[in-house]
Chain A
C-alpha cells in the first residue's frame, strides 16, 4: 500500500464519514439521504480496511456490521409506530413545528443509513478478510 495513501487514510476516513453524515442529514431538502449516506460511510470504512487492515476497521466500527443492519431495520420499523397513535396509519410521520423541521422521517432515514452501511460492510470486510488471510472473529 503506498505510504501516502496509508498515512492520509485517517483523514480520508474522517472526511468521508463526516460527509456521509452531512449527506444523510441534509437529504430531506437537498440531494442526499440515508441510502447515499450509507454507501459513502461504507466506502469510508472500506478505505480504512484497505489501508490499515480489517481488524482496525472492525475496532473503529466497535460493533459487528450485522448488528448495524439489525439496529437500522428496527429503527426504521419503530419510526412508523407514532403514526399508529396519531393517525391510525403506520409510517405516517410526526414533525416538530417551527423553523427547523425534525421528525420521525429522520429516524427512518437513519435506519436506512444503518442498514446500507452494515449490509455493505458485512460483505466488504468479509471479502477483505479472506484476502489478507485474517481470521474472522
Chain B
C-alpha cells in the first residue's frame, strides 16, 4: 500500500502540474512540492521498522505468465535512496518554481510535470523488487532525462546533448535488460530478493560472465564511468534545477545503486569488485583532470560529480565492511553538498546570465545568502571539519587502507580529493568573494524560493557533521545492514584521534589549497594539453554516430534508388525465391488434384480476370492500365463471393473502388501517356521474371489447396460465435471479439501509417515555424 501511495503521489502531482501552474501561477510549485514532501514523510515513518532490520515486501500480479510481478521492496538501502529522491525532490520542486518565475506559467508547468514524473520513475527504480519492473522505471528515467536535458529545445546544443545522453544511457539500459533476461533464464525468477537468496546458483552458472558484463555496462553508462563519462558534462545544457536533481543527487547514482545491489549478489566473484575499483579509479583521475580544464561554473561541478561517482564505484568494489559504510556515507554527503552547489551555481548564472567562472566575481555583495550556502557546501565538499564531508572522507581513506588493494587507489584518492578541495575553493570563493572584476549587471536578486534549497542542504551538511550519530543511526546503519546482511558498528564521529586517515586528510587539504591558489596557471596549462581530452572525450561517440548515419545514407542510396522498376523486380524475384525454397523443402511436388465439379461461373469470372490482366500489360495509357487492373480486382471479388466469403468480397469491392478514386487523383498529376522507357532487353527480362512469378504462384497455390484444410478452428468459431459473442457473422465476431487485440493492433498500424503518409504529403517546402506559446 505504501508503495502505491508514494508512487501515485508523485505521478499524480506530475499529471496535474500543468493546470495547477496555470491556475495558481507562482504558487503552483509550492503546492506541488507538497506531494514529494508527503511521500518523504510517509517513507520516513517506516524508518524505525526498517532500522530494526525489517524488509517491507509487497507484490501484485502483473504478467504472471512471464514471471513479472509488480513487486516492491523497502530495505535500509532503498529507503535511503527513496528519502534522497523525495527529500531533494521537494527542494528541487520549490527551487524550480522560483527559477522559472519570470517564464510563462506554461513553461514552469511543463518543467515541473517532467521533474515530478522523473521523481516517480526514480522512486520506482529504487523501490522495485522485480528486476523487469525496475528496468522499466530505469528506462523511464533515461527517457525523462532526455526531455529534461533538451528542455530548451530551440538550442541546438541542448538537443545534441539530450540525444547523446539518451543514446548512451538508453544503450546501456538495453544491455542491462539483456543481463536481467539472462538472470531470469538462469534462475527462473526476476525477483531481486530471490536472486539474492540464490546468489551461489547464479555465480556457478555458465552465463555468469555475460551477465556481469551486461550489468556493468548498464551501470557504467548510467553513472558516467570511463569511457562513457562524456555525456554527463554535456548534459549540463539542462536547466539548473534539472542538473541539480538528475546529475548530482539522483539519476546518475542509479548506476551506483545497481552496482551496490549486485555487489551483494556477486560477492563471490573477485573480478567483479576488481573491475569496479579499476574503472572507478580511472574515472576519478580523468574527471579530476577534466575538472581542472573546465571553464563553465556548471561544467566544473559536473566533472567533480563524475569524479564523485568514480569514488562511489571504487568504494563498492573494495571488499570490506568499512567500504560499505564509506559508500553509504559518501552517497548522503555528496547528495547534500552537490545539490546545494548546483543550486548556488544556478542562482549565480540566473542572476548574471554568465556561465563562465572566469567572468564571475564579487557576487557575495549581491547574493549574500547564496554565497553563504556555497561556502558551507564547498567546505563539506572539501572535507573540512566539522562538516559531514570530513567524516565521509576519513571513511574513504579508512576503507582504502583496510582493503586488500595495493597503494595505487590511495594515491588516486589523494590526488582526486585534492582536486575536489581545489574545485570547492574555486566554485565558492572565486565567483562570490573575489571581486577582481565586479559583475555589474544583476538581472534578478535572490528570492525565498531560490534560497530554501541551497540553505537547507548546506546547513544540513554542517548539522549532520556536528551530530553525526543521528544520521549514522537512522540512515547509514540500516542501509549498511541491507547491503551486508550483518549489523555493522557505524561509529560516525568527527574525531578518531591521530590516524593515518587524518594525515592523509591534512595532505589532501594542503594540496587542495595549493590547487585553488594556483588555479589559473594550472587551468591554462592543462587547457593546452588535449591528449586526455582526445582520449576520453566524445570523439568516439561522434565517430560512431556519424558513421551510422553515413552507413544508413549509403545503404539507402543502394536499396532505395528511386527506380520503381528496380523495386518491383527485387520484390518479385525475392517472392519467387522464397516460394521456390518453400516448395523444395515441403517436397509436395506438383499435386494437381481437382476437387469437386468444375464450376462454370467461377471459370467465367476467372476468364474475365485473365482478360483484364492481359489488357493491363498491353495498355498504352496509364488510365487504360488502371481500368484493366480494376477488372482483375473486381473479378477476384466475385470469386470470393462465389466461394461463400461475402465479407471478403465486400471489402475487396470497397478497396477496388477507393483504389480507383485515389489512383485517379495521383494519375491526373502525371503525364497520361508517355513512351516506354524500357529497352527491348529490359522488357524481355521483365517478361521472364513475370512468367516465373506466375508459374511459382500457381504451383504454390495448387499445392496449398491440395493439403486438406484443418477445420478445427472454423468449427469452433462457428459454434461459439453466437453463444459467446452474440453475433452470427463469424468473420466480424472474430475481428471485434475473439481476436480483438489483433484488430486493435492493425487499426493502430493503419492510424500511424496514415499519419506518416499524411505528413509526407504536406505541401510547401519549409516546415512551419514552431509555435512559441506566449
Contacts of B735 in A (CB 8 A): 33, 35, 112
Check if A35 sits within 8 Å of B651, measured CB to CB: yes
The answer to whether the Cβ of A59 comes within 8 Å of any Cβ in the partner chain is no
Contacts of B655 in A (CB 8 A): 39
Q: Which of B712-739 contact A (CB under 8 A)?
A: 725-729, 731-733, 735-737
> In the docked arrangement, what's the CA distance between A31 and B651, Å?
10
Option from B726, B729, B751 in Cβ contact (under 8 Å) with A73:
B751
> In the docked arrangement, what's the CA distance between A65 and B725, Å?
31
Given A28-B733, A43-B654, A128-B665: A33 in contact with B647 (beta carbons within 8 A): yes
Check if A69 sits within 8 Å of B729, measured CB to CB: no
Check if A115 sits within 8 Å of B747, measured CB to CB: yes
Interface string of A36-55 (1 = CB under 8 A from B): 10011011001000100000
> In the docked arrangement, what's the CA distance between A22 and B731, Å?
17
Check if A72 sits within 8 Å of B747, measured CB to CB: yes
The answer to whether the Cβ of A66 comes within 8 Å of any Cβ in the partner chain is yes
Contacts of B732 in A (CB 8 A): 27-28, 32-33, 109
Check if B658 sits within 8 Å of A120, measured CB to CB: yes
Check if A39 sits within 8 Å of B654, measured CB to CB: yes
> In the docked arrangement, what's the CA distance between A76 and B441, Å?
58
Option from A90, A123, A129 in Cβ contact (under 8 Å) with B741:
A90
A interface residues, how many (CB within 8 angstroms): 52
The answer to whether the Cβ of B529 comes within 8 Å of any Cβ in the partner chain is no
Query: Chain A interface: which of B402-410, B455-463, B617-625, B754-762?
Result: B754-762
Option from A29, A105, A116, A124 in Cβ contact (under 8 Å) with B665:
A124
Given A124-B662, A127-B662: A136 in contact with B762 (beta carbons within 8 A): yes
Interface string of A67-96 (1 = CB under 8 A from B): 001101100110010000000001101010
Contacts of B528 in A (CB 8 A): none
The answer to whether the Cβ of B657 comes within 8 Å of any Cβ in the partner chain is yes
How far in angstroms is the closest Cβ of chain B from A129?
A: 8
Check if A36 sits within 8 Å of B654, measured CB to CB: yes
Contacts of B725 in A (CB 8 A): 93, 95, 105
Contacts of B646 in A (CB 8 A): 31
The answer to whether the Cβ of B650 comes within 8 Å of any Cβ in the partner chain is yes
How far in angstroms is the closest Cβ of chain A from B733?
A: 7
Interface string of B651-684 (1 = CB under 8 A from A): 1001101100110011011000000000000000
Contacts of B750 in A (CB 8 A): 115-116, 119
Check if B740 sits within 8 Å of A43, measured CB to CB: no
How far in angstroms is the closest Cβ of chain A from B34?
A: 31
The answer to whether the Cβ of B771 comes within 8 Å of any Cβ in the partner chain is no
Contacts of A6 in B (CB 8 A): none
Contacts of B763 in A (CB 8 A): 129-130, 136
Check if B747 sits within 8 Å of A73, measured CB to CB: yes
Check if B736 sits within 8 Å of A105, measured CB to CB: yes
Closest to B739 in A: A91
Closest to B662 in A: A124
How far in angstroms is the closest Cβ of chain B from A3?
A: 19
Closest to B655 in A: A39
Contacts of A35 in B (CB 8 A): 651, 735
> In the docked arrangement, what's the CA distance between A119 and B662, Å?
13
Check if B740 sits within 8 Å of A91, measured CB to CB: yes
How far in angstroms is the closest Cβ of chain B from A35?
A: 6
How far in angstroms is the closest Cβ of chain B from A103?
A: 7
Check if A32 sits within 8 Å of B728, measured CB to CB: no
Interface string of A96-137 (1 = CB under 8 A from B): 000001010100110110011011101110111111000010
Contacts of A72 in B (CB 8 A): 747, 751
Closest to B757 in A: A123
Check if A111 sits within 8 Å of B747, measured CB to CB: yes
How far in angstroms is the closest Cβ of chain A from B139?
A: 23
The answer to whether the Cβ of B744 comes within 8 Å of any Cβ in the partner chain is yes
How far in angstroms is the closest Cβ of chain B from A20?
A: 9
Contacts of B728 in A (CB 8 A): 28-30
How far in angstroms is the closest Cβ of chain A from B446?
A: 46
How far in angstroms is the closest Cβ of chain B from A126?
A: 5
> In the docked arrangement, what's the CA distance between A90 and B617, Å?
49
Chain A binding surface, main DSSP class:
helix
Contacts of B727 in A (CB 8 A): 28-29, 101, 105
The answer to whether the Cβ of B205 comes within 8 Å of any Cβ in the partner chain is no
Check if B729 sits within 8 Å of A131, measured CB to CB: no
How far in angstroms is the closest Cβ of chain B from A75?
A: 10
Closest to B654 in A: A39
Check if A69 sits within 8 Å of B755, measured CB to CB: yes
> In the docked arrangement, what's the CA distance between A23 and B744, Å?
20
Contacts of A77 in B (CB 8 A): 744
The answer to whether the Cβ of B59 comes within 8 Å of any Cβ in the partner chain is no
Check if A127 sits within 8 Å of B758, measured CB to CB: no
How far in angstroms is the closest Cβ of chain A from B726?
A: 4
> In the docked arrangement, what's the CA distance between A35 and B655, Å?
10
The answer to whether the Cβ of B440 comes within 8 Å of any Cβ in the partner chain is no
Check if A33 sits within 8 Å of B736, measured CB to CB: yes
How far in angstroms is the closest Cβ of chain A from B469?
A: 50
> In the docked arrangement, what's the CA distance between A110 and B646, Å?
20
Closest to A102 in B: B726
Option from B661, B726, B747 in Cβ contact (under 8 Å) with A103:
B726
> In the docked arrangement, what's the CA distance between A123 and B753, Å?
11
Closest to B651 in A: A36
> In the docked arrangement, what's the CA distance between A72 and B750, Å?
11
Closest to A65 in B: B758
Contacts of A43 in B (CB 8 A): 654, 657-658, 661
> In the docked arrangement, what's the CA distance between A27 and B731, Å?
9
Contacts of B662 in A (CB 8 A): 120, 123-124, 127
The answer to whether the Cβ of B748 comes within 8 Å of any Cβ in the partner chain is yes
Check if A66 sits within 8 Å of B647, measured CB to CB: no
The answer to whether the Cβ of B358 comes within 8 Å of any Cβ in the partner chain is no
Given A33-B729, A43-B658, A130-B669: A76 in contact with B747 (beta carbons within 8 A): yes
Check if A36 sits within 8 Å of B744, measured CB to CB: no
Closest to A130 in B: B763
How far in angstroms is the closest Cβ of chain A from B208?
A: 38
> In the docked arrangement, what's the CA distance between A34 and B732, Å?
9
Contacts of A127 in B (CB 8 A): 662, 665-666, 761
How far in angstroms is the closest Cβ of chain B from A15?
A: 14
Q: Which of B297-333 contact A (CB under 8 A)?
A: none
> In the docked arrangement, what's the CA distance between A66 and B762, Å?
13
Check if A30 sits within 8 Å of B747, measured CB to CB: no
Contacts of B556 in A (CB 8 A): none
How far in angstroms is the closest Cβ of chain A from B178?
A: 28
The answer to whether the Cβ of B499 comes within 8 Å of any Cβ in the partner chain is no
**Residues on B facing A (Cβ under 8 Å):** 646-647, 649-651, 654-655, 657-658, 661-662, 665-666, 668-669, 725-729, 731-733, 735-737, 740-741, 743-744, 747-748, 750-751, 753-755, 757-758, 761-763
Starting from the known contacts A39-B651, A90-B741, A105-B736, 12 additional A-B residue pairs (CB-CB under 8 Å) come to: A31-B650, A40-B654, A66-B755, A76-B743, A80-B741, A91-B737, A91-B744, A93-B736, A112-B735, A119-B754, A127-B666, A128-B665
20 contacts across the A-B interface (CB closer than 8 A): A28-B727, A28-B733, A31-B731, A32-B647, A32-B729, A36-B651, A43-B654, A46-B658, A46-B661, A66-B755, A69-B755, A76-B743, A105-B740, A112-B736, A119-B753, A120-B658, A122-B758, A124-B658, A126-B761, A130-B761
**Residues on A facing B (Cβ under 8 Å):** 23, 27-36, 39-40, 42-43, 46, 50, 65-66, 69-70, 72-73, 76-77, 80, 90-91, 93, 95, 101, 103, 105, 108-109, 111-112, 115-116, 118-120, 122-124, 126-131, 136
Q: Which 10 A-B pairs have the closest CB atoms?
A: A39-B654, A119-B754, A101-B726, A31-B646, A28-B727, A127-B665, A29-B728, A122-B758, A91-B740, A33-B732
